[in-house]
Amino acid sequence: DASEINNLYDIGGSAWKDVSVGVDFTLNSLKESMAVWGRLQSEPTGDWADAEGYACVINLAGNDDADDATATSATGKLEVRGASYATLQSMDLSDMSKDVWYTLVMKVKSNVVKCELEPASNHNLGLRSYTVTAEDTDYTYLAGSTGLGFYAIAVRCCAMPLENNPNPNPNPNPKPK
């Protein structure tokens, strides 16, 4: 349901080329999903499929039938999305846990999109880190802004342009949608 999706968009970065966007988040439910965008062409509204840009998506939609009150871990996918929200590359997530802080970083350089996910707390649980990379051979998005999409997730975020980006972030605080 698009009405339950929250989006953040940085209005100051429309000409950014090579960017790194990071977010720390914790899952309060194992039915949540998170998206980090790079090279957005316009402000996303509602459904993530409408966002024009690259995305790193944590997709836990397969857990919709799980009993959230008793489940402690979930499976899903870490996906790189491109034009028309098509999946460019994905990998299985085997051990997402509730009440654990994670760090998701998206790096876009030239036509390569890299998504890195790692637990930032509860290291005693032995949770895995994940990395998935995709190359857009069509070079669909050459520049754009950054953003986040989330559903009922606690987040701390910041946009971090790469050192070689000629357009540093003039506004590190994205505009809430």
Q: Across residues 161-165, what is the average pLDDT?
A: 43
Long-range interactions of 62-68: CB distance < 8 A, separation 24+: 63/30, 63/31, 64/31, 66/30, 66/31, 68/29, 68/30, 68/31
State the pLDDT confidence band at 152, using cuts at 50, 70 and 90.
low
DSSP structure string for 16-27? B-SEEEEEEEE-
What rounded mean pLDDT belongs to the chain?
79
Residues linked to residue 78 through DSSP beta bridges, in sequence order: 58, 91
The predicted pLDDT at position 107 comes to 96
The predicted pLDDT at position 153 comes to 60
- What pTM was computed for the model? 0.81
pLDDT digits (tens, 9 = 90+) for 30-46: 777 888 889 999 888 76
Q: Where are the beta strands (DSSP E) in 34-152?
A: 34-40, 54-59, 73-81, 87-97, 101-109, 112-119, 130-135, 145-150
Count the residues in the chain: 177
- CA distances to 63, 114, 148 from 99, in Å: 16, 25, 20
pLDDT digits (tens, 9 = 90+) for 48-103: 777 899 999 998 867 666 666 677 777 889 999 999 889 999 999 988 888 888 89
The predicted pLDDT at position 71 comes to 73
State the pLDDT confidence band at 157, using cuts at 50, 70 and 90.
low
Buried b (16+ CB within 10 A) or exposed e, 13-33: beebbbbbbbbbbbbebbbbb
The predicted pLDDT at position 73 comes to 77
Is the separation of the CB atoms in 149 and 44 below 8 Å?
yes
Q: Across residues 124-148, what is the average pLDDT?
A: 92
Q: Across residues 127-131, what is the average pLDDT?
A: 93
